[in-house]
Amino acid sequence: MKKKIGFIDLFIDEWHANNYPRWISQSSLGSEFELAYAWEEQSQPGGRPLQQWCADMGVEPSASLEELIAKSDCICVLAPSNPESHERLSDLALRSGKPVYIDKPFAPDFAAARRMQKLAEEHRTPLMSCSALRYSSELMALNKLPGQVRHFVCTGGGSNFPEYAIHQIEMVVAGMGCGIEAVTVHGLPERLSALLHYEDQRLASIAYNPAFAFSFSAEGKEQSLLNQGCSKFFENLTENILQFFNSSRSPIDWRQTAEIAACLQALSKGMHRPAERIALQKACS
């Protein structure tokens, strides 16, 4: 019997909810899982309401969060454009003891990230969250190389920096690990660069422009990868989510997820305080 996945969303008719069902069915584990239930807090203006979306997707609508959590074997909390809603939307799921994946960005700040992580720990709820860019084939290849990454440079786009910066931060932390102590931001909101300063003097930089593709270069102690594009990240992410649902063990250190939230918070501040060094809340103690 297939394991049943439940979707919790702020509004269900959005790009991630509309595409995850296909990625799940096409994955190597697609025969073991099915999207069975969905719930939304509100309908998006101009979008399909829950009943229509579920009819189109062949999914059973849930009348309440409690009903969805009780019936599901594993849970996805989506709302990818509204991380400020994640703590509210995930509260009951994080008390369930069932595996929970929370879409990117995990939390709008470090304090919210730690509250959510501690709630999951208290209730022994397996928890995973990340940007899909962590699982680009090229970045996964970098992580298999020997030696520490000493310098990481990446580019990225999207409609606005506060929403899409998560992808570049996730790439940096996936490649270089924890240890960012501060950030500095330069430029205008629509075209900017930022430096991520590590405690051990390593350095990462990100460049944002709405027209930029996601790419990176990385210098390692023993080997480097240059001018790498990013491919197959949603397919690889879906594989890792389903593996997590099977094992109930997150492949991502919680400290990285917390640091990414802290870095996103600092970069958001830095947009309004150009060239000022903004310290992160300590995430990797």
Q: Is residue 169 domain-resident?
A: yes
How far, in Å, CA of 39 to CA of 21, rounded?
15
Tokens of 173: 């932390």
The model's pLDDT over 153-195, given as tens digits with 9 standing for 90+, comes to: 999 999 999 999 999 999 999 999 999 999 999 999 999 999 9
How far, in Å, CA of 220 to CA of 225, rounded?
8
The model's pLDDT over 131-162, given as tens digits with 9 standing for 90+, comes to: 999 999 999 999 888 889 999 999 999 999 99
Split at pLDDT 50, 70, 90, the class of 283 is very low
The H or E element containing residue 222 is none
* DSSP tag of 62: P
Q: Is residue 246 domain-resident?
A: no
Range of the domain at 216: 133-230+263-279
Residues 91 and 153 in one domain: no
Residues 148 and 272 in one domain: yes
The model's pLDDT over 26-84, given as tens digits with 9 standing for 90+, comes to: 999 999 999 999 999 999 899 999 999 999 999 999 999 999 999 999 999 999 999 99
Structural domains of the chain, count: 2
Residues 119 and 212 in one domain: no
Report the interhelical angle of 110-122 vs 254-270 (nearest 10°): 160
What confidence score (pLDDT) does residue 132 get? 98
